[in-house]
Amino acid sequence: MDTETSSTLRFFHYIPSKPLGIVGLIVFIVIALFLFIRIFRSKSRLFLYILPCTAVAECIGYLIRALCSSGETTMGKYIIMTMFLLLSPNALALVNYKALGEVIKLSNIEKAPFYLRPKFVTWFFFSSDIFSFLLQGSGGGMQTTPANANLGKQITLVGLAIQLVFFAAFILITVHVHRSPKYDYSIEGQPNAKRNMMRCLYITLILLYVRSIYRIAEYATGYDGAIARAEWAFYVFDGLAIAISFVFYSVLFMGNYLPKRNEVNGGGLVKRLSSESTSVDNLTHIDNGFEMRQTRDKYSSNNV
């Protein structure tokens, strides 16, 4: 057994499939380009650019994985690959958090419980995701040193578990918003905006949830466990789950079910305010004309 093969086996416990790594790379390159172009051309909300950026991160992870199949696998290369493939899908949850917050905001509910307010939904779950992200990242970094490898694995596991708990809470809020007729809104040209948005959220949340359960099971059973040794499990429960999520982000494109950037940044508001201003000016002009006519009539009657 040569040095390159032994180093790869030491980290993966198998030789990664180069064809599958290349397929993953190509799939996510296509997804990234498609979403970049679609978001740009449709002038959709800026937070949706997280989607193609996440696909680019997946590309990097699969590129390194493909390189590991035919070359020496170093600790640094393995950690970088793991960080991109483990952490980057967390950003998809951020997109869902922001999207649901926008749905609640567009519904114009005057009085709502604090946990159903747009800012709370967006920033609370955003903060929880960042916290779990940092735990997973720091845990992964600690695993680069043999002395801290076990502690790093436990920290990563805690980060994944925390993420799973907040995922479950977010799903419950999503179900409530979906079922409540109060949380409704309309987008021009999209008669089923809320329904399609909810479909996208449900499907992607379930896929991300399945992927998180797989990752927890992988870390819980250890690097030399049956799950970590099964390459098919990685591609089915991680790679395929994320790829299908991107398919639904593309088909049920969130940008279609939210106001465009120019409408949010003031285009529509300026137009409305301008029309209101014009109406006020017209009323003022009519008012002044009426007062002048009254003064003139009064002056004429005095002269008579």
Tell me: the pLDDT tens digits for 229-248? 999 999 999 999 999 999 99
Cβ atoms of 36 and 59 within 8 Å: the answer is: no
pLDDT, residue 272, reads 34
3: CB partners within 8 A, 6+ apart: 72
- pTM here? 0.82
Beta strands in 92-199 (DSSP E): none
pLDDT at 213 over 50: yes
Query: Rounded distance, CA 263 to CA 187, Å?
Result: 11
pLDDT, residue 189, reads 87
Instruction: State the first-to-last Cα distance of the chain, in angstroms, to the nearest integer.
Output: 122
pLDDT, residue 3, reads 64
In percent, the amount of the chain with pLDDT more than 90 equals 52
pLDDT at 304 over 60: no
pLDDT, residue 197, reads 96
Of 3 and 205, more confident: 205
Instruction: Tell me the three state secondary structure of residue 187.
Output: strand
Cβ atoms of 151 and 142 within 8 Å: the answer is: yes
Query: Rounded distance, CA 13 to CA 180, Å?
Result: 49
Judged by average pLDDT, the poorest of 113-122, 174-183, 282-291 is: 282-291
185: CB partners within 8 A, 6+ apart: 103, 106, 107, 108, 193, 194
Of 292 and 29, more confident: 29
Of 198 and 287, more confident: 198
Q: What is the pLDDT of residues 91-131, one digit of tens each?
A: 999 999 999 999 999 988 877 788 888 888 889 998 998 89
Of 272 and 178, more confident: 178
Of 189 and 276, more confident: 189
Best CA proximity match to 66, nearest among 118, 17, 1, 5: 17
Q: Is the C-alpha dihedral spanning 194, 199, 204, 205 positive or negative?
A: positive
- 265: which 2 tokens? 């940044």
pLDDT, residue 268, reads 37
Cα 295 from chain centroid (whole Å): 65
Query: Rounded distance, CA 204 to CA 180, Å?
Result: 21
| Residue 274 pLDDT level (bands cut at 50, 70, 90) | very low
Cβ atoms of 218 and 155 within 8 Å: the answer is: no
Q: Is the C-alpha dihedral spanning 16, 210, 82, 49 positive or negative?
A: positive
Query: Rounded distance, CA 266 to CA 123, Å?
Result: 23
Which of the 8 DSSP states describes residue 192?
T
Buried b (16+ CB within 10 A) or exposed e, 50-75: bbbebbbbbbbbbbbbbbbbeeebee
pLDDT, residue 74, reads 87
Cβ atoms of 153 and 74 within 8 Å: the answer is: no
pLDDT at 38 over 60: yes
